[in-house]
Amino acid sequence: MKFEEYLHKHRDSVYDKICEYLPSKEPKEHYKMVREYVDRKGKYTRPIFLVLWTELHGGDPKKAILPATAMQASQDWILIHDDIEDGNKIRRDEPTAWVKYGINYAINAGDALHMIMWKIVHDAVNHLGDTIGKRYYDKFYNMLIVTAEGQYLDLHLAHDVKDITKFTLEDYYKSIHGKSGYYSVYGPMQMGAIIAGKDDAYVNRIKEYGELIGNAFQLKDDILDCTATEEVLGKTHGNDVYENVKTAILWHFVKNASKPDLEKVKEIYTKERDEKSPEEVQEVLDLFNRYGSITYAKELVDKLAKDALTKFEEVSKDIPESDLKETARDAIRKMAERRK
């Protein structure tokens, strides 16, 4: 089974379970805002990683639905807040919550969904039982704390490091670890293995391939930000340039650009978002392409995806071959091959 098929098999179960936790009461306008991103639905890769990695390790996928629901609820409230922090105006093909309702209402809606998420987590812990439930809770909590650290590093690089020549590739990988490696990939996978009853030594090894594919996932996101249209992305094209985000693509450009081109891009990156014209942003993207910086990122993605699959085979060598294991391989490949 392809990962896309597996995802669609379980996606509605997660969505329906989230809806069970969303109040239908006054003030109705407030709860309409709370469920804004829930009803738009996302790709659901994170919660379905949790379900798949539960089943891959011999667990009951039905037992994973409630923990997966908490995973998806976390993404929906985090995105409401992220869109405000990043100034993003499009999310899942529609205006972002803060654009639609205003910043204050959007923050409050995100806060409410955050509170609802912890109720789901509480029920998931009880559902899983004392031992497994505690391990799941500890992993979930740690993953979210590290995600906030990653967001801080991302914001720090974007807003405090004004000079684009003053950040390193190591800075980039540190900033994406929480949001792309841990949160988007190996955290959900680890929680799935925990639910299936795997011990901590094995669970920790999932990071060996999960972090690689998480890095590939973020690099591909950076590439798409430069190359895909807003219609395909479902969010603002060139947003990383608008927001002064420090990416591996930018790092490569800085290392290879002529002095005039470097100075031109430095000047654009020192401007605030609203001071940049679409033409300036496109000029930066064209320079990234001209200097092979996007190609550099594509080659990194290919290598990381290949290395991740190699590590997956090593870590999961004791899992018998099955259609399910091939689905897991396809899931890893799809993270690097995605087009939106």
pLDDT digits over 151-174, tens only? Answer: 999 999 999 998 999 999 999 999
Give the number of residues written for the chain.
340
Q: For domain 3-337, give the CATH superfamily.
A: Farnesyl Diphosphate Synthase (1.10.600.10)
Residue 233: pLDDT over 90: no
Residue 55 tokens read as: 């089943």
Q: What is the pTM of this model?
A: 0.92
User: What three-state secondary structure class fits 94?
Assistant: strand
Quote the pLDDT of residue 335: 86
User: What three-state secondary structure class fits 64?
Assistant: helix
Annotate 225-234 with b (16+ C-beta within 10 A) or e (fewer).
bbbbeeeebb
Q: Calculate what percentage of the chain has a pLDDT beyond 90.
A: 89
Q: Calculate what percentage of the chain has a pLDDT beyond 70.
A: 97
- What is the band of 309 on the pLDDT scale with cuts at 50, 70, 90? very high
27 phi and psi, to 5 degrees?
Answer: -80, 120
Residues 140-152 pLDDT 10s: 999 999 999 999 9
Residues 261-279 pLDDT 10s: 999 999 999 999 889 999 9
Residue 340: pLDDT over 60: no
d(CA 115, CA 34): 11
- What is the band of 231 on the pLDDT scale with cuts at 50, 70, 90? low
Domain boundaries, the chain: 3-337
Residues 76-104 pLDDT 10s: 999 999 999 988 898 998 999 999 999 99
pLDDT (average), residues 115-133: 98
Quote the pLDDT of residue 6: 97
How many CB atoms neighbour CB 32 within 10 A?
12
Residue 151 tokens read as: 């967001």
d(CA 84, CA 22): 22
Q: Which residues contact 303 (CB under 8 A, 6 or more apart)?
A: none
